[in-house]
Each structure stands twice: as structure tokens, then as C-alpha cells.
Structure 1
């Protein structure tokens, strides 16, 4: 558990065990939903800063970290979104904000559409905007699968550097320690869903204030995607972190928080 967390715990929600880390414990509630191969603990450095103002719950998405995993689970977007709704309901969180990164942002959108009264606002951090007939997601599946297989055998931070060359030693150590908990079939399903499940039709259904944060060097979201998103949801706020790749807070920690501003509590 990250040294800055209040505690780690498990809750049975939506039919599975969901593990989470809680930070801060005061202020309005924020549920942080990580990306495709990011267990909750790897977002601790972000959660610690958020915890200065918010009551932060960082999830281990099913098939990752210490949450339920294995061959019998559904790893599709709808199932993961239902987990978030169930999590908020089980802990009786009063209309928490959702902050989702990459896959986690897609989960946040789908959860907010499924339960519009359950969440107050959405911070969507560089979500994949691929889908049927759309531009492919710039990352390739072997990048994930190869690193997971090495982690299952045992890999150190230096070995992980080949996959994440710009990360700090501490970040690499955490990834090397926890990546083996990412269940390969869950990762493959989520990656394939980036191209099979189009998230754009969900945008007009949103009832909550929403922010889209774009990585200036990520290659995931382009201007044409921003324009389409705003046409579908005119109230969408769009911010940009010019000097960051897709893993925005890893690349530009201060830039991430500058772009986020006071959105979560506005």
C-alpha cells in the first residue's frame, strides 16, 4: 500500500471483490479509475496530491491489482462500468466525481450514462477514441502483452525501462512489482474493445459536467476528435497538456494539475 494512503480495503460490489485505496478522507468524494494496465497503487502519487482537497478512492479495475480476476469474469466495458456504479452504491458515496485515465475514462463515461444521478462530474483524461471505422489506437497490443509476460516471470525496474523509458526509477519499480497482477485476457479484451466499442455515441447522453484532458504528445486524441466530441456534447470543457504523452501525470505532473484546475469541486 502506498505510504500516503489512509488504508486499502475490499468491497463486494457488482458481484465481485473490488479492491481500492483511500486517500485524504475529507472533502467531496472522487473515484479515480486507472487505465488498462495500471493497478491502483501506481496512481498513488496523483492520489496523494488530490487528497489535499478531496476524499479519493482509487480502484483496482477487475482483472488488475487485488480485485477479482480469472477466466470466468466479463472484462468488457459495460461490466467495468457496472463495477464503478456498484462500488459507489456499496460505499454510499454521495454523488462522487469520476476521474478516469485512458480506459478508465471510457469506463467513467459508460458508468455516468448508466447511472446519471450517481455521479456529479467527469474528468476524462486522454481516453481512447478508436472504434469501428475510426482511427486505430496508437499503442500496439504486444507492448502490453510482452511486458505482462515478462512481469509474470519476474522483472526489475531496469527491465521495465525498455517499455517506459521516460519514467522515474520509483515509477518503474512500482510497475515492475505490480504489472504481473494484470490478467492478460482482461487486457486483451479491453484493448480490442477500444476498436469495437465506440464511446462517442455515449457523449450526448451525459448529464454531468465533463472535462476532456488531451495529451499534447499522446497521439490518442486529435483536433478532429475534439471537434466531434464537442459537437456531441457542447458543454464539454477541453484542456490540453502540451508537453505530455498519454501518461500525462507521469510526463508532466504539474501540468496535469494545472489542466485539471478546480474542475472536480467547481
Structure 2
């Protein structure tokens, strides 16, 4: 786990648990990256390296994933994960930070802002969040997809065993997933998956009172045009960028397209830059 911008991995006690994170760059505006349902922090390293060129990046291992605290006694609900992020930022003294969440992490970011309106948050970047919830269209992925791949990883499966689950990924990407997927708690992932259908983040969206960008994966089917329209109604200031050729794991599918979508929004987060759009 080496990289030009990777500074170190560390732990912090926040919101009553041990939270592990990786820090990249170390200068510029702070940025907290919250990954998705089965993505330990290390799997976002290639994105954090690029972000670390301009930002002080902190990639979290969400509770029950990677090297953060786990166990059957933990609360794996959305509120707990949202409180983790707020406590993490406060404990490290981060201010005017960018909160970037992917998938589950984006839902965490939305809930965090409603629960912690006093957090020193500068802007929010939501990457293809599931918009499922009570009475809504279900999340397109099946729970068994996650459970089966995690159980294989816990048995010591190699990268080739990951290929049927993610046929478009490179060998390097699959090797990293095979190496780290076993660190994802089945209890945590199951709770999160059910939360995709039991928690309504739409009620939280109007509370996003800082500049907010939604990035939609054009080929994922997670956010449909009607979903985008509803979110715009709930938050008229919402900005939307689409990466048309990418699936849900946008940076894996189209790295350049991902950064083309987010760079203008992130530029405005830098000291001395102003967002006039």
C-alpha cells in the first residue's frame, strides 16, 4: 500500500468507536471521503492519490469495514454512520471540509448534514447514492451478490473468483478487492442493504444548506431521470453531473470522466476560488 500522495494510515476514537482512515496529500482544503457498502478505504486509494494533489484527503473505513471497529454489538444504522463522520471531523479539528460520499457513503453524507447542521462543512459531493427507500423502487443490486462474494473472500478466494462479480474490472482492481473484502462485516453490510430500503434520505435532502453536487452514473440505473428531477425539486440549488458511460463504480469505469465531472465543483472549494455558477 504505497503511493506518492499517501502519508499514513491512522486510528482515532470518535463517536465511541475506533475509526481507521488513510490520509493523502496533507495540504489544501480538507476532504473526507466516505466509501460504499463493501469498499474499505484502501480500495479508493487510486482516487485519493489524484485528490491528494490538491486536497488534504481523509478516506474513512466505515464502521464494520476495513480496519475500523466491528462486531455484532455495533449499531450499523445510517444515523450511527452519519454521527461517525461528524465526530471524526470534529475530533481531528477539520473545518470547511468537503464531504465526498459514494453510494452508501453519499447517503451517510446526506443524513450527516441533517443531524449535524452545526458541523463545519464546506460542500458536499454525492456520487450515485441509492435513492431507494420506503415505498420506492428497490436498489438494483441484490443482497446475495454482496454476501456471496464476501463469503468467498473469507475463505481465501483469489482475484479470479471475483471476476464473475465484477467482469469489467482490471486484474489489479480485482486483486485489491479479493485482498480486502473479507474485512467487511456481514452484519454491517446486511444492515446497510436493508437500510437502503428502510431509510428515506429524501426527507433529509432539503437540509443540504451548503453547495451540493450530485454525480450520476449513466449506465448504473441507480438514479433515473425521474429520481434526478425529484431531487432537484427537493433541493433547487442542487447541481448535477452525469458520467454517461460509467456504471455505479464510476471512477473504476471512467476515471477521467469522473474527475471531469467533479473538478469544477472542487475547484471552488480551494482558498481564493469563488463559485459563480
TM-score (normalizing by structure 1): 0.98
Whole-angstrom distance in 2 between the partners of 1:194 and 1:238: 21
Residue 103 of structure 1 is matched in structure 2 by 104
For the pair 1:117 / 2:118, whether they are aligned, the reply is yes
Residue 13 of structure 2 is matched in structure 1 by 12
Whether the aligned pair in 1 keeps the contact of 2:83 and 2:112 (CA below 8 Å) is: yes
Residue 274 of structure 2 is matched in structure 1 by none
Question: Offset at 1:261?
Answer: 1.8
For the pair 1:174 / 2:176, whether they are aligned, the reply is yes
Question: Offset at 1:13?
Answer: 0.2
Whether the aligned pair in 2 keeps the contact of 1:116 and 1:208 (CA below 8 Å) is: no
Whole-angstrom distance in 2 between the partners of 1:237 and 1:58: 24
Whether the aligned pair in 2 keeps the contact of 1:28 and 1:265 (CA below 8 Å) is: no
Whether the aligned pair in 2 keeps the contact of 1:35 and 1:102 (CA below 8 Å) is: yes
1:125-164 → structure 2 map (5 Å cutoff): 125-164=127-166
1:1-266 → structure 2 map (5 Å cutoff): 1-4=1-4, 5-118=6-119, 119-266=121-268
Deviations 1:201-242 (A, max 9, x none): 101111111000000000000000000000000000000000
Question: Offset at 1:46?
Answer: 0.2
Say which SS state the counterpart of residue 52 (structure 1) adopts.
coil
Say which SS state the counterpart of residue 262 (structure 1) adopts.
helix
Whether the aligned pair in 1 keeps the contact of 2:3 and 2:49 (CA below 8 Å) is: no
Question: Offset at 1:263?
Answer: 1.2
Deviations 1:227-261 (A, max 9, x none): 00000000000000000000000000000000102
Question: Offset at 1:175?
Answer: 0.2
Whole-angstrom distance in 2 between the partners of 1:48 and 1:261: 14
Whole-angstrom distance in 2 between the partners of 1:116 and 1:234: 19
Whether the aligned pair in 1 keeps the contact of 2:130 and 2:222 (CA below 8 Å) is: yes
Structure 1 runs of 4+ with >2 Å offset: 1-4
Deviations 1:130-174 (A, max 9, x none): 001100100000000000000001011111111111111111010
State how many pairs are aligned: 266
Whole-angstrom distance in 1 between the partners of 2:118 and 2:264: 21
Structure 2 gaps, min length 5:
269-277
Deviations 1:32-81 (A, max 9, x none): 00000000000000000001111100000000000000111000000000
Question: Offset at 1:2?
Answer: 4.0
Structure 1 gaps, min length 5:
none
Say which SS state the counterpart of residue 121 (structure 1) adopts.
strand
Whether the aligned pair in 1 keeps the contact of 2:11 and 2:19 (CA below 8 Å) is: yes
TM-score (normalizing by structure 2): 0.95
